[in-house]
Amino acid sequence: MAIRVQAEDFDVGAELAALTEGNRSIGGVTSFVGLVREMGGGPSAMTLEHYPGMTERQLAEIEAEANARWPLQASLIIHRYGRLEPGDRIVLVATASKHREAAFESCHFLIDWLKTRAPFWKLEETAEGSHWVEAKDSDDAAAEKWKQAR
């Protein structure tokens, strides 16, 4: 289990290789990489603010919950903060297990849960100025489904 909150970019291949290094019980790894996407009006950068301390604590709780629900061999969450541009990586969630179901499901759970629990906020830059991104009901619904799921 590992959590990293950092301004710097990460190398997905190197992170996945390190995650499984030396563990011959792992049969599959699922990863999710979140990117800054271009919004309607053309390229728009954003600045991610977070709550240092609570961020790490919430991510650790989310990761512990995934490890309690699924038989994981390894897991990793990296989330960036600071100013990011379209195409930049924001987040990496990776889970490793003996079998693919646990890896797929726990990775999906972690990103859904993270989006509604981890204290990050996006300030988007547009031609008209910058504005705080509003939370989506669909994200709450996505997290909610895991409450009934297992």
Partner 1 sequence: MKLLYFAWLRTKIGVSQEEVAPPDEVRDVASLIGWLQTRGPNFADALKNPAVVRVAVNQEYVRPGHPLAAGDEVALFPPVTGG
Q: Which residues bind partner 1 (CB under 8 A)?
A: 34, 48-51, 53-54, 57-58, 79, 90-91, 111, 114-123, 132-135, 139
Q: Which is nearer to partner 1, 21 or 137 (CB)?
A: 137
**Residue 5 Cα distances to 41, 56, 79, 101, 136, angstroms:** 30, 7, 5, 27, 23
Q: How far is the CB of 21 from partner 1 (least distance, A)?
A: 26
Q: How far is the CB of 15 from partner 1 (least distance, A)?
A: 17
Q: Which is nearer to partner 1, 73 or 75 (CB)?
A: 75
Q: How far is the CB of 48 from partner 1 (least distance, A)?
A: 7
Q: Which long-range contacts (CB under 8 A, 24 or more apart) does 81-84 make?
A: 81/5, 81/6, 81/7, 81/48, 81/49, 81/50, 81/120, 82/7, 82/47, 82/48, 83/45, 83/46, 83/47, 84/36, 84/45, 84/46, 84/47, 84/48
Q: How far is the CB of 34 from partner 1 (least distance, A)?
A: 6
Q: Which is nearer to partner 1, 98 or 122 (CB)?
A: 122
As a whole number of angstroms, the distance between CA 69 and CA 109 comes to 10
Q: Which is nearer to partner 1, 29 or 91 (CB)?
A: 91
Instruction: Tokens for 136, please give them.
Output: 């989506």
